[in-house]
A and B are shown apart, each in its own frame.
Chain A
Amino acid sequence: MTRYVLRRLGQSGLTLVLVSIVVFLGVRAMPGDTARALAGEETNPEALEAIRRQYGLDQNIAVQYARYVENAVTGDLGTSARTGLPVVDGIFDALPVTLELALLSLLLAVVVGIGAGVVAAVRRGRPAEWLANTVALLGLSVPNFWLGIVLILGFAIAVPVFAASGFVPFGTDPLENLRRMVLPVIVLGSGLAAIVMRQTRAAMLESLSADYVRTARAKGLAPHQVVGGHALRNSLVTVVTVLGLQLGHLISGAVVTEQIFVLPGFGKLMIDAVFTRDYAMVQGVVLFTATGYILVNLAVDLLYSVIDPRIRLGGAQ
């Protein structure tokens, strides 16, 4: 297990180096000159030159990358060319927002998705299954931006129960925090809940027809013990895998959701940075997100053996 974790960490480090190179080259391949974007409406050749010098854009790309890595390993991801604020500050400002949005959405997806999936499997062929399937189909089909605007119009304007936008930290005002997070969480979590529901239902149907479930029933266990303790536990491996795979969906969905609800998270930070050619910020956010992605995937892999002890990590049978 330890060897497996160490090997995975080594692979993760290599992946991060590759990501940093790809991102570094990628942002520079974007059309549009950073200095031009920063100079704004007016074109002053001397100012453009000074901006290039200030941000090292006049150096060759290898030197720029070497300098970037040298600073990054000390935790300095540079300064936002747009605002003059440290990139790290921007990331740590945005992190709690995206983290809360993602975790609450995940929670919604897990609770609603697994719950609905189990009900749909247990009540196969009945109205409950039909209802769960229909809602799941809706959740998958409705685009985030449309659902977001409809929810704002419905529950922030017509019936002003929730706020249309903005973020207030939970520590500052818990109620206000929830008032502002409910709609974004519904928007981001609904698609994921639908996927989880379908996967849970499929896995549960398979489990419920398995021999060990029949044995459990034959032993006289209560229905909730059979469903919860046997069928569901075995089905969860599939669900956890799906959740891990859907992390990308969560991140890309957060980009759209944060724009609609003006949440100052990673997605909004990223979009603003891309539009303003803020190289340092784009690199910082992508690198940070990639690190998070890699670590979560690692955690998901490790979680397999916890959920199902039959799974052994590190190449063992």
Chain B
Amino acid sequence: MTLTAALALTVTGCASLTTSATEVGGVRMGDDRPVRDGGTLTVAFKSDPDKLDPSLGSTLVGRSVFAAMCQKLYDTDAKNRIKPQLAAGMPKVSDGGRKVVIEVRRGARFSDGTRMDAEAVETSLKRHRDLPESARSSELEPVESIEAVGDDKVELRLKEPYEPLLGALADRSGMVMSPRALKKYGKDFATHPSCVGPFRFKQRVTGDRIVLEKDPNYYAASRVHLNRVVYRTIIDGNVRLANLRSGDSQISDQTAPLEVQSALTDDKLQLFNSPTLGYQGLTVNIGNTRGLGKKPGKKNSSLARDKRIRQAFELSLDRSLINKIVFQGMYDTACGPVAPSSELGTKTKCPGRDLGKARRLLRETGAKGRVPVELTISNTVEDMRLGQVVQAMAKDAGFQVKLRPTEFTTLLEHADKGDFEAVSVGWSGRLDPAGNIDAFAATLGSENRSGLSDKRIDSLIEDGRRTADPDERRDIYRDVTRAINDQHALIYLYRQRNYVVATKDVGGLRVYGDGLIRVENAGYVRGSSGSALGLPPVEQGGEVRGDSTEARSR
């Protein structure tokens, strides 16, 4: 790019605004070009990962780091199917779904050199379930007992049949940690994480970088090409892109549509994308009067009072147009909690915009003048734009939408407490449909911000958790989706796509529906210069932060 063009880009904000979104092309989750051994790959994240402890971690970027150093009992593939990772095979389920036996992979070692066995799995699962501040405890709550049966088998006893378990074990709840490291560091495990994985933890410099290095103990070390992976946090999308162009980083995570289009103008960059399992939409407060986890009451607002008003509000919105205007047409429209790409997903036809019907419904309710609606949105550029488009569309049907921009953490706090009328909020998605539905739509669900309380939905949710047959479960989740949509309290609007931009000299990268960047088999393609060797380790006071700083640990 010439300097003039670069300056023009700065002045206009983005030179490729006219680029057609169709140029983004279809789904591209991997790159199979042969790569050579060696080199360092630098991945630029949008936000800083939190604690590198599988029991405590709660960020998507943190999950991407785990994907390189903390393997799970199960993993997912490009088609969102579950496959064994640290388990030797799929689990054996008996006793009406109450007994689950998992055989553990033999010959695997943790990064600290100790052997991974059934006892390590038992220790890890118990920690995920029982640690008071564990973010995994609710996922493993139905697990009554966990016991190693010999060296390579773990037996789980469940309080009741619980089909979402496998999906949970394919995420952080299934990560196995070194018992020796857990014993040695306890709650400081996050500063010395030790798991089974292609890379092992080397150092972390607060707010700057996390460095992983190739783990010689890894059971498939011969298939790992890179020497090191460095994760850096670059919040600003333009700066992230500039770093890709300058070669200071090779992969950019969570790239926004406008940035993707800007990246497409550079022939040194390549694009990966995958549909996500999550959703984004509007949550209407119809009964969240006491906060999450409490019995819903009655909310006194226009949208809460009458289902027909909520239906009219939904009918005023055009999902395709929202996608086109706000996201350059680069996301997917959604009208249900289960992604069509999910194994148990079904295609649901989204209701189109119908202003005539919306106005008629409003007339039927006896609404006079414009119906006031307060919509809480996060104060990000995209959400503000979404709010303005919703505001303009709803106005055509007879609504007066007032936007309440709020910083995201505060927005979540208000939403949890029930201090909102309607809020724009989403969910990153889980492999099992139950993970996208149960907590949000069950009467006492831990994420039921809308205060939805419907006996049929509750009953279907219970059925979904207990039914083992995939076809039957698919039908159940299709029915529960219809039942939720019929309440118009959770208005699903769109599904984001994971857009990952990488330099063209990087091969072997994988980007699946769970949103994680997988670098296990990544490397620099043969014949490329692969000049970017990353930053040298930060040495201060003559010591490298990380594994070697035990004296500094608390």
The chain A residues found within 8 Å of chain B, CB to CB, are: 31-33, 36-47, 49-51, 53-54, 79-80, 82-86, 89-90, 92-94, 96, 146, 149-150, 152-154, 156-160, 163-169, 171-173, 176, 259-260, 262, 264, 268-269, 271-273, 276-277, 281
Contacts and interface: CB of A to CB of B under 8 A. Distances in A.
B416 A36 contact: yes
Contacts of B381: none
A80 B191 CA distance: 11
B434 to A, nearest CB: 14
A83 B50 contact: yes
A173 B537 CA distance: 11
Contacts of B10: 146, 149-150, 153
Contacts of A264: 205-209
Nearest to B554: A86
A94 B133 contact: no
B233 interface: yes
A259 B236 contact: yes
B468 interface: no
B162 to A, nearest CB: 17
A88 to B, nearest CB: 9
Contact of B48 (A46, A82, A146): A82
A158 B206 contact: no
Given A41-B427, A153-B242, A82 B51 contact: yes
Interface in B202-244: 204-209, 232-236, 238-239, 242-243
A32 B411 CA distance: 8
Nearest to B449: A43
23 contacts: A31-B407, A31-B410, A33-B413, A40-B135, A42-B439, A47-B134, A47-B137, A47-B138, A50-B132, A82-B50, A84-B51, A86-B552, A93-B206, A153-B3, A154-B3, A157-B6, A157-B245, A165-B234, A165-B239, A168-B538, A172-B538, A272-B233, A281-B206
Nearest to A153: B6
Contacts of A160: 246-247
Given A45-B293, A158-B2, A152 B407 contact: no
Contacts of A166: 232, 248, 535
A32 B246 contact: no
Interface string B5-31: 111011000000000000000000000
Interface of B: 1-3, 5-7, 9-10, 48, 50-51, 53, 56, 58-59, 132-135, 137-138, 187-188, 190-191, 204-209, 232-236, 238-239, 242-243, 245-249, 292-293, 406-407, 409-410, 412-413, 416, 427-428, 439, 446-447, 535-536, 538-541, 545, 552, 554
B61 to A, nearest CB: 11
A158 B208 CA distance: 25
A260 B539 CA distance: 23
Most chain A CB atoms below 10 A, which of B133, B204, B206: B206
B138 A84 contact: no
A39 B204 CA distance: 21
A47 B187 CA distance: 15
Contact of B409 (A92, A154, A277): A277
Given A153-B9, A164-B242, A45 B446 contact: yes
A167 B208 contact: yes
A85 B133 contact: no
A276 B135 contact: no
A94 B206 contact: yes
Contacts of A45: 292-293, 446
A262 B232 contact: yes
Contacts of A271: 235
Contacts of B247: 160
A15 B190 CA distance: 36
Contact of B3 (A37, A83, A159, A273): A159
B390 to A, nearest CB: 22
A312 B58 CA distance: 59
Contacts of A272: 48, 207, 233
Nearest to A155: B3
Contact of A89 (B133, B233, B409, B545): B545
A164 to B, nearest CB: 4
A163 B416 contact: no
A154 B7 contact: yes
B406 to A, nearest CB: 8
